[in-house]
Amino acid sequence: MLDEQTVVNALSIDLEDWFQGLTSTNRVPETWPRLESRVVANTERLLALLEEYGVRATFFVLGYVADTCPDLVVRVAAAGHEIGVHGYWHRPIHRLTPEEFAAELDHSLTILRSLVSRPIIGHRAPYFSINKDSLWALDV
């Protein structure tokens, strides 16, 4: 039972690189291999902070990050954090067809399941992009 002094919070993190976000001018995946990745160093710093304070989180991992930095995903899971899926290319779901979304989701899950032994049950849509026009994604 929780008492008045117990603080209950949830922390979730999108595991993606700086060039995969909405404000980046480098959102074309073909350019990504030429860009300096910061995801490993930044995530290692974050993992150290979470460990220092005894905090566990859910990391929503891009399939692309899992594909290019598999050891990082293994370290995140080994540190006791939950792994969820965040798509592969970080594309807004409302811009995909149901078939494209299903293929991207399956591809990402295949990679993540090869790296993590615990079930992957969480999904976060890139850019929180499930809207009234893409409610079909809830059935995929």
How many folded domains does the chain comprise? 1
pLDDT digits (tens, 9 = 90+) for 46-56: 999 999 999 99
pLDDT of residue 3: 66
pLDDT digits (tens, 9 = 90+) for 26-41: 566 777 777 788 999 9
pLDDT digits (tens, 9 = 90+) for 75-130: 999 999 999 999 999 999 999 999 999 999 999 999 999 999 999 999 999 999 99
What's the rounded Cα separation, in Å, for the pair 16 and 36?
Answer: 13
pTM here is 0.89
18-31: average pLDDT: 68
The answer to the question of residue 3 being in a domain is no
What SS3 state is found at 15? strand
What's the rounded Cα separation, in Å, for the pair 25 and 20?
Answer: 9
The answer to the question of residue 2 being in a domain is no
Which residues form the domain of 25?
12-139
Q: Is the pLDDT of residue 19 over 90?
A: no
- Cβ proximity of 126 and 105 under 8 Å: no
* 97 token code pair: 């067809």
Main-chain dihedrals φ then ψ at residue 62, nearest 5 degrees: -70, 140
The answer to the question of residue 91 being in a domain is yes
- What CATH number is given to the structural domain containing 77? 3.20.20.370
The answer to the question of residue 1 being in a domain is no
